[in-house]
Structure 1
Amino acid sequence: MLVENRPDYFLHLLALNAVGASVVPINPDHRHAELRYQMQHSGVVLAVALARHVERLTAVAAELSGQFIVLAVGNLPERLPSRARPAATGPLDLNTEAGIFYTSGTTGRPKGCLTTNDYWLSAGEWFLTLARSGGRFSIEPGQDRLFNPMPVFHVHAGVVALMPMLLSQGCVIRPEYFSAKRWWNEVSSSRATIVHYIGAVPQALVALERSPDERAHGVRFGFGAGMEPAIHREFEERFGIPHLEVWGMTEVGRWTANDQDPRPIGVRAIGRAVGPLEARVVDEHNGVVTAGAEGELVVRLAGDHPRKGFFAGYLDDEAATEAGWSGGWWHSGDIVRQDKDGIIYFVDRRKNMIRRSGENIAATEVETVLCRHPAVDRIAILAVPDEKAGEEIFACVVPVADRTGDDRLAHDIADYCREQLAFYKAPGWILFLDQMPVTATQKINKAQIFAPGLDPRTLTGAIDLRGTKKRS
C-alpha cells in the first residue's frame, strides 16, 4: 500500500482485510534500495499505489523477477491478475495476519512487525478502556471526531487513530500532511473533538504567532508522545487543550497515559499502566528496581496470555522476537523511573535510535550506508536536540587520509546518504574529527566522543545541514 494519507488508503485497507489479505503500508519517502528491501522481505504479491509511485515500484518488481504486480489507484482492472502463489488456507479470525509495520531496528535493517486482527481490535478497544478508567481520556460514541495529521504507514496514525473511531462509530479526520500554518483552520473547520499528534507538532504550534483561530475550536483533549516538558504548560494554557502524554510502541499496540488528575506537568511523565496492561521497571537481570531508580520499562498483559494483543513477532526473526520477550515481559528498550505513586517518567532510550519528527531512525542503518562513502574512514551517528524536530542526526566523521573534512565534503556525504535512504535519515549536522575513542574490541565508543553534557552543535567546525533535508 503506497497510497499516502488518502481516503483510498482506508477503502483498500478494509476491503483487503475482508478477504484475509495482509497489508504492508509503505513510506513514500523511501528510496529505491529501501523499497526493494521492504518489498522483498515482506514477500508482497500486490502493490496498490498512487499513479506517481507506479513507475518506481514497477522497477523494483522487475528487479525481484516479478514477485509482485503493481496497480494504480483509480485505474484498477475489472479482474485482478492471477496470484503469484496459493493463498493461505484456514478461517479468518482474530489470529489472522492483518498487516506488517516496519520499524527501524537497532541492528540496521528495519524489522517487520507482524500484526493480527486481534492486535488492531485490541488497539481500538484500549482507547475505550482508558476512557472508562476515570482519567482525561473520554469518548462519545457516534459523536467524536479524531484529527490526526501523521502518516498512515505508522501505527499511531494507521491503527491507534483509526480503530477507536471505527469501534465507536466516530470519525477520523486525515489531512494530507501536517502543516502548522493550516492546523487551527483544519481542526476548527472539521469540528474535531480530539487531536492526536507527536511531540514535534506541539513545538511547531507554540512557535506560531498568536491568533484568534487558536482558540476557535471544540477540542476536549490532545494526546501524543514526546512533547517537550518545557512547553507543556504553555501549550495547555495558550490553546485551552489538556495534553495527555502517552508512551507506546509498534510491538505493544497499547500505551500508558498521563491522564489522571493531578497530572505531572513540566516533566516527561508517561503516566501509569491501566489494567489489564501491566508495567514494571527492571534492571539488567530483570529484577524490579526500587521506586525512583532508573531501569528498563517492560510490559505485558495480565493473566495467562501475556502476549495477547501485542504484535505476533518479527517477520523471519524469531530470535529477536524471543529476546524481546525475555522473562515473560516485553522489553521496551526505554529507560524510565517510577515514583512511589506508580507514575512512570521517561528518561532515555537504551536503543541506538534517533527520533526525528516522529520517525524512528536506526543509527546503525545510517552508519552502514555512510561507511561505504569513499571519503569516510570512520563514522558515528548520534542524536542531538532540535528545536523543531525534537531530535536531529549528528554525524561524527573521520575522513580518509587524503581527504579534507570541509563544507564541500559534508554536503557530498549528505547527498550520498539521500541517494540511498529517505531524506530524513541524512545527517542534519556533520563534524569532522581526527580520531574517535574506541573500545577494547576497536568499536567506536560513542559515550566518550564528547564530554558529558556537551552539546556538539556548539563546537567549532560543526556544519549545519538541516536546510538540505527536504522531501524530493
Structure 2
Amino acid sequence: MANTVYQAFTETAAQFPGNPFLCVMPETADIYNIAAGEITYGAALQRINTLKDAYAKAGYGHGHRVGLLLENRPAFFMHWFALNALGVSVVPINADMRAAELSYLIGHSEICMAVALPGRHESLAAAALDANATLALMGPDDNIPPANRPAPLAGQAIGTHTECGLMYTSGTTGRPKGCILPNEYYLYCGQWYANIGGLATLHKGVERMLTPLPLVHMNAMACSTMAMVTTGGCLIAIDRFHPKTWWSTVRESRATVIHYLGVMPAILMKATPAPEDTRHSVRFGFGAGIDRSLHEPFEKRFGFPLLEAWAMTETGSGAVVIANHEPRHIGTSCFGKEEPVVEVRLVNDAGNDAGVDENGELLVRHAGDNPRFGFFAGYLKDEAATTEAWADGWFHTGDIVCRDADGYLHFIDRKKNVIRRSGENIAAVEVESVLLRHPAIKAAAVAAVPDAVRGDEVLACLVCNEPPADANARETLAHDIVKWSLTQLAYYKVPGFVAFVDALPLTPTNKIQRGELKKLAPTLVGTEQCVDTNHLKKRQEISA
C-alpha cells in the first residue's frame, strides 16, 4: 500500500506503463505554447524520477515547501510528484494572484523556492521582497537552484502524515488560511472516488476524466488527479472552461467523465440545441451548484447525469457527500445522503439537533476511531482556528443544510461571510483590506449581489475622502479603483460594481453590520451612485 502520492503513481505506472496519464488537447497546447498529445504513465515516471534526482542533488528534502505557479500544465504534475518523493510540500499558486496576495502567500507559507512561468518571476521576486522573504525562482524546464536552507525534517521518515500540499482557501475573518494537506488526504481522495460506485463508478484502466478546474483547487488537484492515478485512467486538464469549444473538446478528448461548476451548465444551455448534443462518451458529470431549474433539462438534452456533491478543502474526501444513487431528487438542492463512513449533524441556531426539514449548520466527521481521517491536518500557523473548526469533535462547515424525511441532504445557504462567484470563494474582508489601501478610499465594505450567470458578483460600498461630485467623476474614480485593484487581486475578487455612499452600516463598535449590508447591496445596483465595472473584470493573460 502506497504511503505517498509518489509511491501511488509509481505503483500505477508499473501496472499500466503504456496507459495515458495526461492528455493535452490542441486548444490548451496552443494557449500554453506546449506540445499537444498524450503522456503515458511510464514516460511521466521517467521525467518525474529525473526531476526527483535533480531536486535531491540540489538539497531539497523533507519539510521544505516549494510553490508551483504552472497553471494546468503537465509540468505541474511532474514537479509535484518529484518533490513529494522527497517529502517536499507543494504550494499551488493561482496565476491570477497579484501583488498583495502573492506577498502574503510567500511570507505565510515560507516557501523556499517557486517553480513558475517565466513571465511571473518578476512579480514573485517583488512580492518576496515585500514579504522580506528569501525566494529562489526557476522555470519549469530550468536547472534547479540549490536549496537556500536545510530541510527542516531531514532524516525523519516520509509517510502518510507527511505534508503533501499547502492549499490556501478564503477565510471569512481575514486573510486566506493555509490548509495543511498530508499524503493521506490525497491518497484517500483517490481511493474514495475509485470505490464510491453507483452512478459514479470508475472502471480501472479505461476512464478519461476531463476537468476545466484549476489545479490550485482540491477538486482538480486531489479529487480528479488522484482518481485517475488510483485507477490508471487519463486526466484531461484543460486550461479553463471555453463554452464555444467545450463540446468539441469533450468529443475529441473521448472523455468518459467530466467535472463541472454550477455556472457551466447554465452557460451551455444557452447554446442552440443540435443533433451533436448527445454525440459524446460521457457517462456522468461530477460537480456542485447547478441551477435546480436547469438540472433535468440539461440531463435530457445532453444525455448524462450531473451528480451533485458536497465537500470542502478542509474535509477532502473524509466527509464528502454525493448524489450518486437514485433517487437524486433532481430539481431540488439535494446532494444525496452520507455513506456509513461519514457522520453528519445539523445544528440549529439554538445549538440543538435540527429536525426534519429544519435548517441547521452542517457538522461532519469521519466515522470510526479517527474522526479526522481524510481531512486536512490543520490551518498553518493558526491552531486556534483549527481548534474552533473542530469544536466538540465535529468539523463545523459554516454551511446551512436541511435533511428531508427520507434522509436526503439539501443545501440551503452559506453561513460564512463568503461571496461565491463562478465557483470561486471570495472573502469580503480580504477584498476590503486591499481596497482600503487605495488613496481615495476612506472606508470600504464588500458584499455579494445576485448574478444570473456567476451566482454572485462583488459589490463594493465605498466612502471616499473626497466624494466624487457628479456621474462623470464617479465613473472615472470607479474605473481607477477597479484598474488598480486588478494589480492587487485576482480578477474575480475585484468589484464588478462600485457604489459610492456617505456612510457604511456600522455597529456601535464601528464594525460592519453584515446583515444590513447584505440587504443594502442589491438595492444599489442600477442607481446613480453605483457604477457597473463588470466590463473591466477580465482575466489578465500573462505570457509564459
Q: TM-score range by the shorter chain?
A: over 0.9
1:115 maps to 2:181: yes
Match of 1:370 among 429, 435, 447: 435
Deviations 1:128-148 (A, max 9, x none): 3421xxx32111111111100
Match of 1:388 among 453, 463, 470: 453
Match of 1:13 among 56, 80, 86: 80
2:496 equivalent in structure 1: 428
Asked whether the equivalents of residues 363 and 395 of structure 2 are also in contact (C-alpha less than 8 Å), the reply is: yes
AA aligned opposite 2:432: E
Residues 216 and 458 of structure 1: CA distance in aligned 2, closer, same or farther (over 3 Å)? same
1:353 maps to 2:418: yes
Equivalent residue of 2:477, what SS?
Answer: helix
1:291 maps to 2:359: no
Q: CA RMSD in A?
A: 1.9
Match of 2:171 among 105, 124, 128: 105
- Structure-1 separation of matches of 2:418 and 2:138: 35
Asked whether the equivalents of residues 449 and 522 of structure 2 are also in contact (C-alpha less than 8 Å), the reply is: no
Superposed displacement of residue 449, structure 1? 4.1
Asked whether the equivalents of residues 286 and 308 of structure 2 are also in contact (C-alpha less than 8 Å), the reply is: yes
Match of 1:315 among 380, 387, 410: 380
Equivalent residue of 2:255, what SS?
Answer: coil
AA aligned opposite 1:332: T
Question: Which shows bigger deviation, 18-27 or 209-218?
Answer: 209-218
2:91 equivalent in structure 1: 24
Deviations 1:398-451 (A, max 9, x none): 333554372222212212322211111110112223334332323232322465
- Structure-2 separation of matches of 1:49 and 1:366: 25
1:124 equivalent in structure 2: 190
Superposed displacement of residue 67, structure 1? 2.0
Equivalent residue of 2:91, what SS?
Answer: coil
- Structure-2 separation of matches of 1:286 and 1:137: 35
1:463 maps to 2:526: no
Question: Which shows bigger deviation, 312-321 or 204-213?
Answer: 204-213
AA aligned opposite 2:188: S
Asked whether the equivalents of residues 195 and 201 of structure 2 are also in contact (C-alpha less than 8 Å), the reply is: no
Question: Which shows bigger deviation, 359-368 or 429-438?
Answer: 429-438
Asked whether the equivalents of residues 229 and 266 of structure 1 are also in contact (C-alpha less than 8 Å), the reply is: yes
Structure 1 residues 107-256: aligned runs within 5 Å: 107-131=173-197, 135-254=198-317, 255-256=320-321
1:49 equivalent in structure 2: 116
1:439 maps to 2:507: yes
Deviations 1:335-365 (A, max 9, x none): 1111121111111111110111221110011
- Structure-2 separation of matches of 1:324 and 1:419: 33
Query: Runs of 5+ in structure 1 lacking a partner?
Result: none
Question: Which shows bigger deviation, 454-463 or 412-421?
Answer: 454-463
- Structure-2 separation of matches of 1:401 and 1:64: 32
1:330 maps to 2:395: yes
1:33 equivalent in structure 2: 100
- Structure-1 separation of matches of 2:273 and 2:339: 37
1:419 equivalent in structure 2: 487
1:92 maps to 2:158: yes
AA aligned opposite 1:40: G
Superposed displacement of residue 259, structure 1? 2.4
1:76 maps to 2:143: yes
**Number of corresponding residues:** 467
- Structure-1 separation of matches of 2:216 and 2:484: 25
Equivalent residue of 1:44, what SS?
Answer: coil
Deviations 1:369-419 (A, max 9, x none): 213333333322111221222211012223335543722222122123222
Asked whether the equivalents of residues 286 and 327 of structure 1 are also in contact (C-alpha less than 8 Å), the reply is: no
Residues 122 and 416 of structure 1: CA distance in aligned 2, closer, same or farther (over 3 Å)? same
Residues 70 and 306 of structure 1: CA distance in aligned 2, closer, same or farther (over 3 Å)? same
Asked whether the equivalents of residues 185 and 213 of structure 1 are also in contact (C-alpha less than 8 Å), the reply is: no
Q: TM-score, normalised by structure 1?
A: 0.94
Deviations 1:134-186 (A, max 9, x none): x3211111111110011101111111111111111111111122111111111
Query: Runs of 5+ in structure 2 lacking a partner?
Result: 1-67
Asked whether the equivalents of residues 106 and 133 of structure 2 are also in contact (C-alpha less than 8 Å), the reply is: no
Superposed displacement of residue 286, structure 1? 4.3
- Structure-1 separation of matches of 2:168 and 2:261: 18
Deviations 1:31-87 (A, max 9, x none): 12211210111111121112222232233344556622111112224xx41441334
Question: Which shows bigger deviation, 26-35 or 455-464?
Answer: 455-464
- Structure-1 separation of matches of 2:527 and 2:131: 46
Equivalent residue of 1:388, what SS?
Answer: coil
Match of 2:341 among 262, 276, 286: 276
Percent of residue pairs identical = 43
Residues 454 and 464 of structure 1: CA distance in aligned 2, closer, same or farther (over 3 Å)? closer
Equivalent residue of 1:367, what SS?
Answer: helix
Deviations 1:184-222 (A, max 9, x none): 111111110010011121122112233333321010010
Deviations 1:67-115 (A, max 9, x none): 22111112224xx414413341311111111000000111221110000
- Structure-1 separation of matches of 2:329 and 2:125: 51
Deviations 1:203-248 (A, max 9, x none): 2211223333332101001010111112111211111121111111
Q: Give the structure with the larger helix fraction.
A: 2
Asked whether the equivalents of residues 130 and 137 of structure 1 are also in contact (C-alpha less than 8 Å), the reply is: yes
Residues 3 and 452 of structure 1: CA distance in aligned 2, closer, same or farther (over 3 Å)? closer
Q: TM-score, normalised by structure 2?
A: 0.82
- Structure-1 separation of matches of 2:86 and 2:437: 44
